């Protein structure tokens, strides 16, 4: 009997090690792997000098805003440059600081930094018209050819997402915070699904929120345990200087992808994957820091490399175990 126990002792030791490890592993969300399928822009070519916005159409053409070149560039699905428009200026089709980009069936919508305007181009890159807004743009989402949702940057419109028609009329708005926030603390990136649900990632607060089409809050999540971000006085204004979440995007299955900022285990590289009910299901890590993420209708993920001179396209595949976010004690 004693011998049998002694013989089993090795097994007990292994179980003692493995059970906690397995339990701990089960507590960690899975890490999705990325496979690079396309890269646009090298050190030596003139394809991209500083890209800031990207969108992809139904045919797989990739449209990119190149801020350094004051241009929209169109690449085919193989990454070949097939068109370009724009230059520095204030005339029709010209830019002073182009930034965000999104597309509808017919049009491309481009924002200008600090300007209350969206410039609209067709898919052949011909300027069509511009939409005047109530304030500068923090984020946009094109919903239809004649409807675009805008998170405002201006303090006059804080805590609101406005839905504009092509004449610049507000046809709907979502109030996502009942209480007034300090300057910039209500800045969000957002995306909408086909049911009209709106997903917000606060840029300077550890908060990801889902609203339904009627504006009712369905859930709110914090992933990183950040109590408060650093705020500094710049000129006469006190503004936050540490970004918590940089961007949010949805895939065709309704999964939510949130790009972490300073407080992530891998700064500006960790992308938290959340199910439609708000459960953190996995984390993927970009090879290089990015300022944004974009997911096309086929589930490919686009992000930045080489500090903006390269655009990468990835297939998201498989799942490997790994630690998700790094919870950070509050300060």
Partner 1 sequence: MKVKFSDWLIFLVFGGLVFFHFHGFDALEGTALPQRNVLSIVGAMTESQDEGNTLLLFILDFEDFTCLSCLDSFLGLYRMLPSPYKNFQAWGVLILKDRGEDRGRAVRIAEKKLRGFVRANGIAFPILVDRSRIFSALEGKGSGVVLFDGKRKTCQWYDFPLTGEQFEEVFARLTQ
Contacts to partner 1 by CB under 8 A: 43-44, 46, 49-50, 66, 68-71, 87-88, 96-97, 113-114, 306-309
Least gap, CB of 97 to partner 1 (angstroms): 6
84 versus 326: smaller Cβ distance to partner 1: 84
**HSE-up (13 A, CA, CB side) for residue 19:** 6
Least gap, CB of 51 to partner 1 (angstroms): 11
Per-residue 3-state assignment (H helix, E strand, C coil) for 118-156 = EEEEECCCCEEEEEECCCCEEEEEEEECCEEEEEECCHH
Residue whose C-alpha is closest to residue 277's, from 253, 308, 306, 246: 253
How many of the other CB atoms lie within 10 Å of CB of 330? 9
Dihedral angle, C-alpha 201, 202, 207, 211, nearest 10 °: -60
| 16 alpha-carbon distance from chain centroid | 42
Contact residues for 5 (Cβ-Cβ < 8 A; gap 6+): none
Least gap, CB of 63 to partner 1 (angstroms): 18
What six digits make up the tokens of 277? 């009910």
Q: What is the DSSP letter of 22?
A: H
Least gap, CB of 88 to partner 1 (angstroms): 6
Contact 307, 48 (CB under 8 A): no
Least gap, CB of 10 to partner 1 (angstroms): 47
> How far is it, in rounded angstroms, from Cα 57 to Cα 75?
11
Least gap, CB of 220 to partner 1 (angstroms): 31
70 versus 314: smaller Cβ distance to partner 1: 70
Residue 27 has phi, psi (to 5 degrees) of -75, -20
Residue 31 has phi, psi (to 5 degrees) of -110, 120
Contact 190, 137 (CB under 8 A): no
Least gap, CB of 194 to partner 1 (angstroms): 34
Edge-to-edge strands of the sheet including 117-122? 98-103, 107-112, 117-122, 127-132
| 206 alpha-carbon distance from chain centroid | 15
> How far is it, in rounded angstroms, from Cα 6 to Cα 12?
10
41 versus 260: smaller Cβ distance to partner 1: 41
13 versus 68: smaller Cβ distance to partner 1: 68
232 versus 307: smaller Cβ distance to partner 1: 307
Least gap, CB of 60 to partner 1 (angstroms): 26
Least gap, CB of 136 to partner 1 (angstroms): 11
65 versus 198: smaller Cβ distance to partner 1: 65
């Amino acid at each position: 009997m004693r011998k049998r126990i002694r013989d089993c002792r090795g097994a007990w030791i292994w179980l003692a090690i493995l059970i906690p490890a397995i339990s701990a592993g089960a507590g960690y969300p899975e890490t999705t792997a990325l496979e690079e399928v396309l890269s646009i822009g090298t050190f030596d070519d003139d394809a991209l000098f500083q890209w800031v916005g990207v969108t992809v159409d139904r045919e797989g053409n990739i449209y990119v805003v190149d801020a350094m070149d004051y241009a929209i560039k169109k690449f085919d699905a193989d990454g070949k440059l097939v068109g370009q428009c724009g230059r520095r200026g204030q005339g029709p089709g010209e830019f002073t600081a182009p930034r965000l980009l999104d597309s509808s069936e017919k049009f491309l919508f481009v924002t200008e930094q600090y300007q209350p305007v969206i410039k609209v181009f067709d898919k052949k890159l011909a300027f069509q018209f511009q939409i005047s807004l109530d304030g500068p743009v923090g984020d946009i989402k094109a919903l239809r050819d004649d409807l675009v949702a805008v998170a405002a940057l201006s303090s006059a419109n804080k805590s609101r997402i406005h839905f504009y028609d092509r004449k610049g009329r507000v046809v709907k708005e979502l109030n996502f915070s009942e209480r007034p926030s300090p300057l910039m603390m209500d800045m969000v990136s957002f995306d909408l699904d086909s049911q009209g649900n709106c997903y917000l990632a606060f840029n300077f607060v550890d908060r990801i929120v889902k609203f339904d089409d009627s504006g009712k809050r369905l859930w709110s999540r914090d992933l990183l345990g950040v109590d408060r971000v650093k705020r500094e006085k710049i000129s006469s204004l006190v503004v936050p200087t540490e970004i918590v979440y940089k961007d949010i995007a949805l895939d065709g299955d309704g999964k939510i992808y949130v790009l972490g900022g300073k407080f992530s285990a891998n700064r500006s590289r960790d992308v938290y994957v959340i199910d439609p009910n708000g459960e953190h299901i996995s984390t993927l890590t970009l090879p290089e820091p990015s300022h944004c993420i974009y997911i096309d209708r086929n589930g490919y993920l686009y992000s930045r490399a080489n500090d903006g001179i390269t655009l990468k396209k990835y297939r998201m595949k498989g799942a490997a175990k790994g630690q998700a976010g790094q919870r950070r004690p509050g300060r």
